[in-house]
Amino acid sequence: MAKFVAVLVGLVLLVGPLADVSSAASTLKELTSGKGQRQQADELHDRLSITSNTIEDAKAKSKQPTPGQHNHDQAKNQKITINYETRWFRQLVDHFTWANQDTWLQRYLINKDNWCGPNCPILFYTGNEGDIEVFTNNTGWMWENAQQLHAMLVFAEHRFYGQSMPYKIDPTLISPKQTKTLGYLSSEQALADYAKLIYELKHNIFDAKHSPVITLGGSYGGMLAAWMRMKYPNLVDGALAGSAPILQFPGEYNCQDFNKIVTKDYEGYSSNCSRSIAKSWSTIRDYGASRGSAGLSALGRHFNTCQPMKANDTDLLLEMLNSIWVNMAMTDYANKATFLSDMPAHPIEHACAHLKADPIDSGDEDLLAAISRASQVYTNSTGQNACLNITDYVYDPMDVLWDFQSCTEMVMPICSDGINDMFEPEPFNLTDFVQSCKIRWGVDTQVNKIKTLYGDKNLHSASNIIFSSCTRDPWSAGCPQESIDANQIIVLKCPGAHHEDLRPSGPNDSDEMRQVRKQELDTITNWIQKHYSNVRKFARNETLVWASRRTDSSEN
């Protein structure tokens, strides 16, 4: 989600018996309606390109945080080749009035390698606040399970992010002047985009009118995946929402909980680690404000900045470090990853290895040197950067877009008190926040809009949604914590970081993580089976037979 609000687990929580999908037939009859695959709509081919990547080589394009299997044992030690077509779909700018009938091209990525044909399953990723290729390359769950589910994979890009631009905007400008066009940037409009695309995929682009659709996403994308099932149950049969903080809104959670979890992540490796970070804020401020040019020079030397430090750079340095510690907690994955930055497995452990000394016994110079080395696990783990450009880790074009969403509807407060966490005190005042948004964007913040549109903690009217909540993820503070019946809301808790269950499986995965992923797959398979059972009741003269092939090792 934006800076400090990123792009969007302990023991497995069993939620009741699932269908015995391992006994499904080992043969597959393709679903067919006799019509054959329909011709692609001409407008979808305004532009088309074929790309190929591997998950291990995927480079994330954003550095700041914001609110992602088939045979797991085999996948641990192999690369997953990602092949997709890039397509474009003509969308409406405004789905809810006829006052503006402008259209625009939405980018979506598609893979049909494992799709068994007409009416077979579709796994649909609801794009986050960023370039869709980043999430495509980091959502290994979909690629690893596509073969078993015989599924088509679709990754849809969120409006105003990546290359899906309804209107040209200035990504550096925060001003009411942009509200006329950015006013069409909202979760509600984005969901309508996805709904229209899903409908056309099923009814006009492919022979798929009876295909079950499962939405998936992590963080904000996970919120969208869940909301798609809530708002469009006629199009979506179920949702897997990874690390989706749908309750992280005023009145629903304590804004201090986020940074408490971040602090606990560091304390889990070393109490001196979190205490050193806590002490570093005042030390850096002292060097930047009270020691003149010598203090600024020392900061530049310790952090190896590309340009000499100036007085106003101190706040930027502190902001960068705040982002680093939060991002590292979010992505403290069991396996090496390049999602927000190129980092080793368990990056906090590597960072805390530099902060073992008791900060009470450390001199200021030693503390600054240690903090710098710890931060380089995030900024320069490969050792290839000759110097540190602070602005690379502070400014991001996405920040402007997410700032607008935060000011209009996505009010997700995060605060700290400096006592129960390792950060500087930073309270959240809703009145001040709303007033600031009015100045920046000229908008009246609709604080309760999300709760009005999608609900709050009362989720009893929803069904077929898995909320996976990783206990070491700061965003878990805003995620649902309790299941509601095995056929309604299922909460799975796993020992990991931000939507780690949706990431590619790897050699360091715990047994608990593998079990969570298997339970997700079993549940989704059950939903798909029920979908076909229901469709048979009204489908005329059509063969609707689907079976999931399970390898022996994936059942272990």
Residue 55 pLDDT grade (very low, low, confident, very high; cuts 50, 70, 90): very low
Helix residue ranges per DSSP H, 11-93: 72-75
Q: Which of 347, 368, 394 is the last residue of a domain?
A: 394
Closest CA to 504 of 227, 142, 102, 174: 142
Token digits of residue 219? 């963080």
Query: Cα–Cα distance between 288 and 295 in angstroms, integer?
Result: 6
Question: Is 439 within the bounds of a domain?
Answer: no
Token digits of residue 40? 């692609």
Do 260 and 232 share a structural domain? no
Report the CATH number at residue 202.
3.40.50.1820
Token look-up 């914590």 returns: 481
Report the CATH number at residue 351.
1.20.120.980
Angle of helix 430-441 versus helix 397-408 axis, rounded to 10: 120
Do 389 and 260 share a structural domain? yes
Do 199 and 261 share a structural domain? no
Question: What does R_g of the chain's alpha carbons equal in angstroms?
Answer: 24
Q: What is the percentage of the chain residues whose pLDDT exceeds 90?
A: 73
Query: Cα–Cα distance between 136 and 195 in angstroms, integer?
Result: 19
pLDDT at 541: 54
Query: Cα–Cα distance between 294 and 324 in angstroms, integer?
Result: 25
Q: Answer yes or no: are the C-beta atoms of 500 and 525 closer than 8 Å.
A: no
pLDDT greater than 80 at residue 539: no
Query: Cα–Cα distance between 546 and 550 in angstroms, integer?
Result: 13
Task: Please say whether the dihedral angle defined by the alpha carbons of residues 68, 70, 76 and 78, taken in this order, is positive or negative.
Answer: negative
For 401, residues 6+ apart whose C-beta sits below 8 A from its C-beta are 2, 129, 160, 161, 169, 171, 182, 185
Question: Is 512 within the bounds of a domain?
Answer: yes
Closest CA to 321 of 362, 282, 363: 282
Element (H, E) at 365: helix 364-379
Query: Cα–Cα distance between 238 and 242 in angstroms, integer?
Result: 13
Do 300 and 168 share a structural domain? no
pLDDT greater than 90 at residue 393: no
C-alpha distances in angstroms, 185 versus 156, 161, 191? 15, 10, 11
Tell me the pTM.
0.85
Query: Cα–Cα distance between 380 and 263 in angstroms, integer?
Result: 22
pLDDT at 265: 97
How many domains in the chain?
A: 2
**Which residue in 473, 501, 509, 522 is the catalytic one?**
473
473 noted as active-site residue: yes
Angle of helix 364-379 versus helix 313-330 axis, rounded to 10: 60
pLDDT at 33: 33
pLDDT greater than 60 at residue 68: no
Q: What is the percentage of the chain residues whose pLDDT exceeds 70?
A: 83
**Which residue in 164, 211, 219, 554 is the catalytic one?**
219
Token digits of residue 194? 């996805």
Q: Answer yes or no: are the C-beta atoms of 466 and 474 closer than 8 Å.
A: no
Tell me the residue type at 197.
Answer: L
pLDDT at 61: 30
Q: DSSP characters for 420-437?
A: SSSS--B---HHHHHHHH
**Segment 86-105, tens digit of pLDDT:** 999 999 999 999 999 999 99
Closest CA to 130 of 64, 192, 187, 57: 64
pLDDT greater than 70 at residue 244: yes
Residue 542 pLDDT grade (very low, low, confident, very high; cuts 50, 70, 90): low
Q: Which of 394, 421, 444 is the last residue of a domain?
A: 394
**Segment 1-42, tens digit of pLDDT:** 333 333 332 222 222 222 332 323 222 233 323 333 333 333
Do 201 and 107 share a structural domain? yes
C-alpha distances in angstroms, 203 versus 41, 207, 210, 290, 546? 11, 6, 9, 67, 19
Question: Is 450 within the bounds of a domain?
Answer: no
Measure CA 273 to chain center. Answer: 27
Token digits of residue 9? 């687990």
Do 223 and 285 share a structural domain? no
**Which residue in 498, 505, 509, 522 is the catalytic one?**
498
Question: Is 54 within the bounds of a domain?
Answer: no
For 301, residues 6+ apart whose C-beta sits below 8 A from its C-beta are none
Query: Cα–Cα distance between 98 and 96 in angstroms, integer?
Result: 7
Token digits of residue 204? 């006009």
pLDDT at 487: 74
**Segment 344-383, tens digit of pLDDT:** 999 999 999 999 999 888 899 999 999 999 999 999 999 9
Q: Answer yes or no: are the C-beta atoms of 117 and 33 closer than 8 Å.
A: no
Do 295 and 378 share a structural domain? yes
Token digits of residue 540? 């005329």
Question: Is 80 within the bounds of a domain?
Answer: no
Do 169 and 148 share a structural domain? yes
pLDDT at 93: 98
Do 243 and 127 share a structural domain? yes
**Segment 470-528, tens digit of pLDDT:** 999 999 999 999 898 877 899 999 889 999 999 999 999 999 999 999 999 999 999 99
Domain containing 303 equals 256-394
Residue 322 pLDDT grade (very low, low, confident, very high; cuts 50, 70, 90): very high
CA dihedral 340, 345, 347, 352 (to 10 degrees): 180
Question: How many Cβ atoms are within 10 Å of 260's Cβ, its own excluded?
Answer: 18
Question: Is 298 within the bounds of a domain?
Answer: yes
Question: Is 442 within the bounds of a domain?
Answer: no
Question: Is 37 within the bounds of a domain?
Answer: no
pLDDT at 30: 31
Do 325 and 295 share a structural domain? yes
| pLDDT, mean over the chain | 85
